[in-house]
Amino acid sequence: MTRQFPSRPIPAIGVVVWKGDHVLLIQRGKPPRAGSWSLPGGAQKLGETVFEAAIREVTEETGIQIETLGLIDVIDSIDRDNDSIEYHYTLIDIGARWLSGTPLAADDAIDARWVALDDIGAFDLWSETERIIRLSAHLHGPCRNIPYT
């Protein structure tokens, strides 16, 4: 199935990786949103669990090793082209913790870096991506003992 103008939604994984109070961001190399900053992740493969996909995608895009921590949320990313659906991903967002490695952009990413939670606003993220990062900060990251509002 083609990713552009698909016949059904495509399940995909986004991973919020924490290293202390820093989150891992990648700059996307392919559509949709090519050139924008986002979370590492991508389409789930047949026979692969959500958590296996999260680990694989982070390793492929950045070279680092992670431990998954749990589900953050599920959202839909739907891009329309006039009356047609150009892209439709059902994004399953997973929280994770850095174990080892230095992020190096590879595969679909053209850049990868650690960003302090207080600095993510400078990266012009999709509003849902920023919301997911902030929610993860309360579930898995540096703000996990502070109530999420």
Q: Is residue 148 part of a domain?
A: no
Residue 38, both tokens? 């986002």
Q: What pLDDT does residue 124 have? A: 84
Q: Is residue 32 part of a domain?
A: yes
List pLDDT tens digits, range 10-53.
Answer: 999 999 999 999 999 999 888 777 889 999 999 999 999 999 99
Q: Is residue 149 part of a domain?
A: no
Q: Residue 78 and residue 128: Cα distance in Å, rounded?
A: 12
Q: Is residue 103 part of a domain?
A: yes
List pLDDT tens digits, range 111-135.
Answer: 999 999 999 999 989 999 999 999 9
94: amino acid identity, one letter: I
Residue with tokens 């994984």: 13
Q: Which domain holds residue 19?
A: 10-139
List pLDDT tens digits, range 100-115.
Answer: 999 999 878 899 999 9
- CA 67 from centroid of its chain's CA atoms: 15
Predicted TM-score (pTM) of the model is 0.89
List pLDDT tens digits, range 68-101.
Answer: 999 999 999 898 988 888 889 999 999 999 999 9
CATH number at residue 110: 3.90.79.10
Handedness of CA 79, 6, 26, 48 (dihedral sign): positive
Domain count, the chain: 1
pLDDT of 149 above 60: no
Q: What pLDDT does residue 145 have? A: 64
pLDDT of 137 above 70: yes
Q: Is residue 77 part of a domain?
A: yes
